[in-house]
Structure 1
Amino acid sequence: MGHKLLALLATTVIASGGAQAQEIIFAHGENPGNPRYVAAEEWAELFTACTGGEQTVNVAPSATMGDDVEMLTSVAAGVIQVTANSQGAMSQIVPEIGLIGLPFLFEEQTTAWEVLDGEIGDMLDEHAQQAGLKILGFWDNGIRHVSHVSKAVPSPSDISGMKIRTPPDQMTIDIFQALGASPAPLAFSELPTALQSGVFDGQENPLINIYTSKIHEITPFITLTGHKYESTPVVAGLAWWSGLDEETQNCALEATAEAGKLQREMSLEANDSLRPTMEAEGVTFTAADHQAYVEATASVYEKYSAEYPELVEALQSAVGQ
């Protein structure tokens, strides 16, 4: 809890005659330096200030409240109130969320933000509410690339047979199965140890996640595949959300949007600026054969178009495909 927040809380308690503020938990899985970590701290200050100190926030970072799936379960159960989570984990509960990660759907992060801030985001929120979750907004988790312990993978044939860690996300698993790799899900917090022990040949993530978790030190060969985009859905428990008055609900939405601007800007800047930093630390970057990868993953669209025709069509229409 930051000094500003403590000062605000103390002032509020005094002003209200010592009344006890209500504390909520905002949990996430990232470490200091990651945009999600910074934005969560910002969210806490904004939400507390907006509620006049009637609500305070205990930010629980670095998977201290469990991995992403466990945090979502805790949110639905009311153990914690809000989580900045992962698209992959949430797709286990709300499968439609996984469609954001259709291969090569978004070539630019900014395009994804425009789509998710509009009608598509509202549609996904409706599905989430049916599962007892409320989407407050979508932060960014970047365009994803493949990193390998010993080689570049510029074409699908290079990735064939690769033991690759994925999030617990069926879409990502389907993409790498289509590419001929051997994908397996694992919690992000367990990934460095699994890579060091040789369980995997590599993994896939946006550059900022690779860097702040120091995975580039274990897998210094990064191929700029850009195979999918992922969001960071900011999710509240629907029961908690429904119990708030409209003013407090608006505080949560506004805090998510404002902290999200910071988070998105940091993520975009990192995507543009991290490459020379990582090269100086020993990373070798390689371009991918974009068209070959697109063609190799076409079957993924066939699968999901059959399962979710309206939403896939809406997403493709939104990006002009």
Structure 2
Amino acid sequence: MKTMMKIALVATTALVAGAAQADEVIFAHGSNPGNPRYVAAEKWAEVYAACTDGADTVNVAPSATMGDDVEMLTSATAGVIQVTANSQGAMSQIVPEIGLLGLPFLFQDLPAAWAVLDGDVGAMLDERAQNSGLKILGFWDNGIRNVTHVEKTVAEPADLKGMKIRTPPDQMTIDIFEALGASPAPLAWSELPSALQSGVFDGQENPLTNIYTAKLHTITPYVTLTGHKYESTPVVAGLAWWSGLDEAHRQCLLDATAEAGKLQRRLSQEGDETLRPKMEAEGATFAEADHAAYVEATKAVYDKYAEQYPQLVDALRSATAAGN
């Protein structure tokens, strides 16, 4: 309620000031200090302000201070904020096709995912987003995801049976864990630590970077490297605001997103490669998953989405196979 009152107050202030084309750009996201998204947002602000020769300033609103991801997308559409580094799950509620990036075991590694997002598939998703009032400026990273549990590792799909697992608000993730026999339920990221501590969930799934920076490994110290799906971080502007900008400002937005995105992706990949020993030193226990068993257990998820979106699923498979 407090968040919605804050959004309403900002909206009223913007309307009174006639600030549809505000010189101050609000860039909102949900990550805390230390997370690659947080670092990249600060870089984005620096690059964008410099590109506009100081004509525009950026107010970075981190840590879900402007609401959760769904609320931030709503605010971007309404012109309350201008840009948000958001989540694939929240975006999939507006643009269902973006959820297909999370098909189980679609991408072998992060560079493979980035190559697809930076090509025709990314352009196709932007076109669909614009039909819903949003402009995708680019895709940052939200990693290949793994499962953490309060008391055991889950090397085999059978180990997940009945597990109460938190997911983002993303139907694809819910479908994956239902196929694996778990009991998934969505919850906002900002509410996750307290929900784990209170026993509402047995565990959760995220890339190592998110797990470490949010200290989730201290609550759910059993980490299984399932690698079950990929998620992006779409950087999104409100289409009405974007449409009112001149070409120079539009290019500044795209350039800032691309430059900060290089930093964000690099930090995300480094986290995947270096965080395991740090987490183990802090008490986490790691296990490898039976990859073949997990792939087999989630085949039905592909069947469901191939029936709903045959063209886009084929395009994703082709792009992944081609490496572009």
For normalisation by structure 2, the TM-score amounts to: 0.92
Provide the residue aligned with 1:239 in structure 2.
240
CA deviation after TM superposition for structure 1 residue 55, in Å:
1.0
State the alpha-carbon separation in 1 of the partners of residues 76 and 115 from structure 2. Answer: 27
Provide the residue aligned with 1:225 in structure 2.
226
Residue 278 of structure 1 aligns with an amino acid whose one-letter code is M
CA deviation after TM superposition for structure 1 residue 298, in Å:
0.3
State the alpha-carbon separation in 1 of the partners of residues 79 and 299 from structure 2. Answer: 40
Cα RMSD after superposing both structures: 1.0
State the alpha-carbon separation in 1 of the partners of residues 283 and 123 from structure 2. Answer: 43
CA deviation after TM superposition for structure 1 residue 24, in Å:
1.1
CA deviation after TM superposition for structure 1 residue 129, in Å:
0.3
Local SS of the residue matching 2:321? coil
Q: Give deviations 1:5-55, integer Å, cap 9, x for gaps.
A: xxxxxxxxxxxxxxxx81010000000000000000000010000001111
Provide the residue aligned with 2:86 in structure 1.
85
- For structure 1, the residue ranges without an aligned partner over 5 or more in a row are 1-20
CA deviation after TM superposition for structure 1 residue 111, in Å:
0.4
State the alpha-carbon separation in 1 of the partners of residues 53 and 295 from structure 2. Answer: 50
State the alpha-carbon separation in 2 of the partners of residues 187 and 62 from structure 1. Answer: 12
State the alpha-carbon separation in 1 of the partners of residues 101 and 56 from structure 2. Answer: 32
Provide the residue aligned with 2:211 in structure 1.
210
State the alpha-carbon separation in 2 of the partners of residues 319 and 93 from structure 1. Answer: 24
Q: Give deviations 1:84-131, integer Å, cap 9, x for gaps.
A: 000001100110010000000012000000000000000000000000
Local SS of the residue matching 2:226? strand
State the alpha-carbon separation in 1 of the partners of residues 157 and 269 from structure 2. Answer: 27
Provide the residue aligned with 1:34 in structure 2.
35
State the alpha-carbon separation in 2 of the partners of residues 24 and 46 from structure 1. Answer: 13
State the alpha-carbon separation in 2 of the partners of residues 276 and 28 from structure 1. Answer: 28
* Number of residue-to-residue matches in the alignment: 302
Q: Give deviations 1:144-168, integer Å, cap 9, x for gaps.
A: 0000000000011000110000000
Alignment of 1:1-321 (within 5 A): 22-320=23-321
Local SS of the residue matching 1:226? coil
- For structure 2, the residue ranges without an aligned partner over 5 or more in a row are 1-21
State the alpha-carbon separation in 2 of the partners of residues 164 and 255 from structure 1. Answer: 36
Provide the residue aligned with 1:3 in structure 2.
none
Residue 115 of structure 2 aligns with an amino acid whose one-letter code is E
Local SS of the residue matching 2:34? coil
Residue 38 of structure 2 aligns with an amino acid whose one-letter code is Y
Displacement over 6 Å in runs of 4+ = none
Local SS of the residue matching 1:131? coil
Local SS of the residue matching 1:83? strand
State the alpha-carbon separation in 2 of the partners of residues 76 and 209 from structure 1. Answer: 27
CA deviation after TM superposition for structure 1 residue 320, in Å:
1.3
State the alpha-carbon separation in 1 of the partners of residues 108 and 205 from structure 2. Answer: 16
Q: Which moved more, 1:21-30 or 1:53-62?
A: 21-30
CA deviation after TM superposition for structure 1 residue 201, in Å:
0.2
Q: Do 1:107 and 1:226's aligned partners in 2 also have CA atoms closer than 8 Å?
A: no
Provide the residue aligned with 1:10 in structure 2.
none
Q: Do 1:148 and 1:201's aligned partners in 2 also have CA atoms closer than 8 Å?
A: yes
Q: Give deviations 1:40-87, integer Å, cap 9, x for gaps.
A: 000001000000111110000000000000000100110000000000
**Overall identity of the aligned pairs, in %:** 76
State the alpha-carbon separation in 1 of the partners of residues 240 and 186 from structure 2. Answer: 30
